[in-house]
Amino acid sequence: MGAASGFTLAAAMAALFAQKAVFAYCVTAIVLTLAALATRLASLARNDRIRHKSTLQTAIGVNHPKVRQVSQGFTVRSFNTEEFFHGQSPETMSRVRVSFLLLAFVAPMIVLAVGSFTASFAILAFAFAIQYAGLVLERWYFLAQSNHPQNLYYQNKA
């Protein structure tokens, strides 16, 4: 993903400083973005099928087979309830997933294809800007998607 966004930015810079290289940078950026999309889709598919090793028992270090939370254990919000869970609905997470796939991968490839023929700095800079925004969303999703052991215990507030 870093190489893809780097070449997208290089294509925009080439529009300013090396017009003859724009097409080559655009094609390379598209190929790298396509490769990044394929690997990210593969990792998303893997993560959807993965069986997590963390359970409520491992989160609190108890080996009893039947553990259930009956109280949050705090009268007010705590660090654990605020920092280890994003608090977003499954619908929001799904929208973020679709958004980052479109912004980080699909839209930049389309804009790069247009920019490869126009050699317009504005168009290619726009491709980089939308790709960057998509990559920021992708990183947030990556971190929010994690299954932190603290999260198992504290996300279900009584």
Take residue 150 and report the two structure tokens written for it: 């603290």
CB neighbour class for 137 (10 Å; exposed up to 12, middle 13-18, buried from 19): buried
- Answer whether residue 119 is part of any domain: yes
pLDDT per position as a tens digit, 121-154: 999 999 999 999 999 999 989 888 776 666 655 5
Q: What is the average per-residue pLDDT within 38-61?
A: 83
**Domain count along the chain:** 1
- Answer whether residue 67 is part of any domain: no
Q: What is the average per-residue pLDDT within 50-55?
A: 74
- Do residues 67 and 58 lie in contact, with contact meaning Cβ atoms separated by under 8 Å? no
- Answer whether residue 60 is part of any domain: no
Q: What is the average per-residue pLDDT within 19-46?
A: 96
Select the more confidently predicted residue: 143 or 87: 143
- Answer whether residue 6 is part of any domain: yes
Structural domain that includes position 9: 2-50+87-147
Select the more confidently predicted residue: 85 or 118: 118
* pTM for the predicted model, two decimal places: 0.78
- In angstroms, the CA 113 to CA 129 distance is 15
Q: What is the mean pLDDT of the chain?
A: 85
- Answer whether residue 35 is part of any domain: yes
